[in-house]
Amino acid sequence: MGIEVRNIKKVFNKKTVLRDINFELEAGKIYGLLGRNGAGKSTLLSIIANRIFSDSGEVLLDGESVFENDNALGNMYLMSERNLYPEGMKIEAIFKNTELLYGAFDLGYAQELADKFGLDTSQKFGKLSTGYRSIFKLIIALAVPAKYIFLDEPILGLDANHRELFYRELVDNYVKTQKTFLISTHLIEEITNILEHVFIIDQGEIVVDGDVEAILDKAYLIAGPKEDVDNYCQGLNIIGQENLGSIHGNYIYGSLDDKRILPDTVSIERMDLQKLFVNLTNISVKGGASK
């Protein structure tokens, strides 16, 4: 049971956006999809949700292709950065329409969330600020009956209080429904302890696919005088370096060799997920457009 993404490839304007993407989503887990601006996250989510087509490969839901499969599509919902709603339509009307479209849309829950977030549902969509557009789209995503929910940059423009509230409501929703969430966000530090499993996509390829705990168990900062640090790190997988005055730091991703002797001058610290992400993806900066 779950979603299988198999050999997905996508080319836009002669540029390969996704090359041979493979991963699985088990039912009832919260996943993170992390990547730089332009790494291909939105394209990948749109392909999984069948909004756009891949050039090759397939997406399976419980073993069946999602392509032209109404049952599969009714079980997946993508909240995207795009604003697909009529500017002049009121929020309450869009909620009603969504209810008509999805049947089991939980209108009461949507209204309850609107109250908590302070979203005035008599407002027109076009009048909402960036933050409240995100909130509105989030509410729909949490209240639709689909089992697989994909959130693309769900917290764009949200203030710190609203972000805290969102994380709480998301976990609450997850505990109650056991839905599967796949969340793409640039605010990695804040969301780390909600995520169970993470995919890091870089230049159209999945470069990390693992449980968050297991990943962080292999992420270290080795710091001290440069010579001692470099000696200790010989043969290890150095993914980045940083200096603070005369202190030199090497970022390591991979297991440390237990037999190495750690000099008194050198310390080992853990790296958090955001720092790991930045170091793993720092080299690749893309060409600006990804709209």
Residues near its own copies (CB under 8 A) are 35-38, 81, 91, 117-121, 123, 126-132, 153, 156-164, 186-189, 274, 277-278, 281-282, 285-291
Taking the complex as a whole, the smallest distance from the CB of residue 257 to its own copies amounts, in Å, to 29
**In degrees to the nearest 10, what's the CA dihedral of 86, 91, 95, 97?**
-30
Amino acid at 102: Y
Tell me the C-alpha distance between 88 and 102, whole Å: 22
Taking the complex as a whole, the smallest distance from the CB of residue 153 to its own copies amounts, in Å, to 7
Element (H, E) at 237: none
Contact of 276 with 215, CB cutoff 8 Å = yes
Residues 6+ apart with CB under 8 A from 131: 156, 157, 158, 159, 162
- Pick the closer one to its own copies by CB: 147 or 163: 163
Taking the complex as a whole, the smallest distance from the CB of residue 80 to its own copies amounts, in Å, to 12
- Pick the closer one to its own copies by CB: 13 or 234: 13
Taking the complex as a whole, the smallest distance from the CB of residue 42 to its own copies amounts, in Å, to 9
- Pick the closer one to its own copies by CB: 49 or 201: 201
- Pick the closer one to its own copies by CB: 7 or 37: 37
Q: How many residues does the chain have?
A: 291
- Pick the closer one to its own copies by CB: 17 or 59: 17
Tell me the C-alpha distance between 163 and 44, whole Å: 24
Beta 180-184 vs 30-35: how paired, if at all?
Answer: parallel
Taking the complex as a whole, the smallest distance from the CB of residue 136 to its own copies amounts, in Å, to 8
Provide the token pair at 280: 């793993």
Tell me the C-alpha distance between 221 and 225, whole Å: 13
| Matching residue, tokens 């994380």 | 167
Taking the complex as a whole, the smallest distance from the CB of residue 90 to its own copies amounts, in Å, to 11
- Pick the closer one to its own copies by CB: 81 or 106: 81
